[in-house]
Structures are given as structure tokens and as C-alpha cells.
Amino acid sequence: MRFVKLCVVLMAVVFALNIAACCGGGTTVQEKQTQVISQPTVGDQLQDLDNAYKNGAITKPEYDKLKQDIMNKSSQQPVK
């Protein structure tokens, strides 16, 4: 009889601890947010470069070199 009472009390304690652990007081759940960073497309980069040249921010040799760099970089990237 003592053994049965002890088992019942022990099971009640274990059950109470499980409930407290699952819904425990003071426990907060935070959602993780994923931030997507988009890279400019090759077209966007070329348009920005063209605007910089037309506005006088860069010279023709700089324009030509940067344009070639953009084109070389795009040909090395795998197609998605």
C-alpha cells in the first residue's frame, strides 16, 4: 500500500514538473526572422555605372574597366 502511494505521489510530481516545463512561467518564445539581402542584378550594376559616367562621376577609362569587371564577374557566377 505504501508503495502504491509513493508511486502515485511520484507520478504526480513528475507530471507537474512536465507541465511546468512545457508551459512554465516566465518562459518566452521568440521567433527568428530571416533577412534576405538582395544583390543588384548585372543590369542594375551596368545602369548605375552608365549613370555615373553620364553624370561625370567617372572617366571613360574608369567606365570601361568597371564595365569589364562587372561582365567578367557575371560570367563566373553559376546560373540559378
What is the Cα Rg of the chain in Å?
32
- d(CA 42, CA 71) in angstroms, rounded, equals 8
pLDDT, one tens digit per residue, over 19-53 is: 666 665 566 777 888 888 888 999 999 999 999 99
User: CB within 8 A of 16, min separation 6: which ones?
Assistant: none
Reported confidence tier of residue 57, pLDDT bands at 50, 70, 90: very high
The predicted pLDDT at position 4 comes to 74
- pLDDT value for 35: 83
pTM exceeds cut of 0.85: no
How would you label 51-63 residue by residue, b for 16+ Cβ within 10 Å and e otherwise? eebeeeeeeeeeb
Averaged confidence pLDDT in the chain: 82
7 has a pLDDT exceeding 80: no
